[in-house]
Structure 1
Amino acid sequence: MEDLHQHGGKLLEIAAQNNLKTEAIIDFSANINFLGPPAAITEAIANNLKQIKNYPEINSKGLKKLIAQKHQLEPEEVVVANGAAEMIYQLAKVLNPNKVMVMAPTFSEYELAAKSVGAQIEYFHLKAESDFKLDLKELEASLNKELDLLFLCNPNNPTAQLIKAAKLENLIKKAAQKEITVVIDEAFIDFLAQPKIYSVVNFLAKYDNLIVLKSMTKLFAIPALRLGYALTNRELGHKLENNRDPWSVNYFAQLAGEIIFKENKEIEKYIKKSKQKIARERKYLYQKLQQIKDLKVYQPTTNYIFIDLSASKYQAAKLRQKLAKSALLIRNCDSYHGLNENYIRVAVKSRKENNILLAKLNKLFN
């Protein structure tokens, strides 16, 4: 049976195929902060292992309050989830749309969640000749009354294209006039130096048709814990909470979230250090990749880099296979709707790890 959920981070699969130990693999396929989780989180988990015998707090009420304070919202306008992906499926279940628009290419779970409730999918194709930049005027013109739901990822995954919040407001407004709900996924926005310029959170008070998704797993390097949340209006917040598993977010994820959102100098320091180091390594990796013959490297904005291989001798699957033999894992992007075998994505890692990847690519391409 075909695995529809094609994502990065498939360490066990690659290890088994190439007779490697998982710890030997450098994973460029998953866009996770290479610094690893903050010590405050790992220490708190280690110190609270005995809590495994107790149920987590229903609906993460304590964490909801902290998140609401952070965004100057009410707790009823926050829904905490077992990763942002859970909330995508929860939204599809509760909103039960007939027709959903998704970008192509973008994160595949929007489409899969919509299909899981029998919705029809309408693709808005991002064009390679425009470097996959979203034409907002064209998108606004394509909104029709048949649509119930529109998903946008900002910055987009895997292309990393980014749109300022001020430019998105007209889209949200036009969608509201046509009674279309707009979900804007900001999973990678916190890696940016100035996320407030791009985040639409401040529009929540003006537009009831807006839902903002956030992920904690990327910046804080806790994908195994699964932690994300949605910001929306009270009415939808209640519907989302009343139609779900009350214990979907485990105790340790709640604990991590409370550490992240409490006033904490250690976390502030970690965020600042992460942004600085990732920005430095992103610039370095981007510039070095540009020097490799036959690669078209797209300008990165967050902690991953999108690459076109079409002028080279390799297709994505072949390159992934060759790198896997050297214990390097990249993301083959041919499973993204709107992309083919010519595209890959690599995460930004540490200088040492980036240099290992660069050395291997230089050997393969030169």
Structure 2
Amino acid sequence: MSNTLAVAAVTSTLRYVLEQALGGRQAGPVGGSRVTTLHPADIPADASGGEIHKGINVFLYQVTPNHAGNLTDLPTRRHDGSLAHRPTAALDLHYLLTFHGDDAELDAQRLLGRAVLALTVTPVLTRDVVEFALADYATETGTAFLADADLADQVELVKLAPAALSLEELGRLWSALGTRYRLALTYTATVVVLEADLVARTALPVRRRALAVAPAHRPRVDRVTPPTGAAISTGTTLEIHGSGLIGPGLTVRIGPVELAPEDGARADRLSVTLHGAVPAGVHGLQVIHRTPAGPTTPARVLARSNAVPVLVRPTVSVDTVTADTVTLAVAPPLQARQQASVTLSRLDGFPAMLAFPLQAPTPGQPAAATVDLDRRDVPDGTWLIRLSIDGAESLPALDDDTYTSPSLVLP
């Protein structure tokens, strides 16, 4: 892995390799040539009667993600948002090498030959080459920052390979660069891995491996039935029908709460009673089997059943009425981040309907078993009360095809 200077370090190492090629013992040296890292439009043009710019220019014209390298980095975070390991970004660098000189003396073509041979001899930026390049350029004022680059420590070495572009692609590239065409080659450097400077939270080393063999038997829930004609609410006993329900460490999860089954559980049927910790709303019901916890080992989940949706309805009643406040009792209690509202429908006199949003407790506060309405917002009369929590509504009671309770009577 490398720090944020890795891209600049690859460019500088490529420049270093080409500079060494200029001074080699190959035939036909081009005197006065050098290697630059300028934008192609900024390279001095050949001036008639003046000194002709000779050399090789290295320009990074495109960066693309390396998909193979990025796939190995997933996921970087655990379910609670903590870092499992440092995030990394894998990149491929695409370079344009241009060659300049006196066309009458074929300078550009002689430089191209030296560059191609140098990159064929050095297709991999080894650690020694990277260290020599960074040490050389770190002494220059403009590139002194390379002293902090750690490309040489990257586990996977950067590899160079020629990239062939069609005439159409070359035309588009030079048009985007905004300058006239020069003799050029394209190379791809892969892979450069950037690593974030973050601290990951790691688990303690495993001291001892404990293996247990158990039959791979997954419980299955076919249906969940409440008492005949009854809505599911706090205190309701549910019957769960299915297969393979009995197992070690048997519990029933409803939403965020796990409940112990009633006595008399069977492999095809068991019962569970909802208590006030099960919040109102739509939840998935699952049967879970766990290994027993030991003195030094936690319980582990052996099997989970499929999830069956269950609608837990809230109930509401009048608690107290004062001159300023109407207090309503709600079950199950209203929990943090739940969306709730109270609707009042007039049972006597002219039909009317009032709706009041409720403020749920903030995270960290206990659940609210009562909610308050401003007495001044509710006119005198008899009102039918309905409570809605996370889309689940309380059901009013019928009396001869008329909803009558729970009711709020205000003189």
Normalising by structure 1, what TM-score?
Answer: 0.22
Q: Which of structures 1 and 2 has the larger relative contact order (alpha carbons within 8 angstroms, sep 6+)?
A: 1
More strand by share: 2
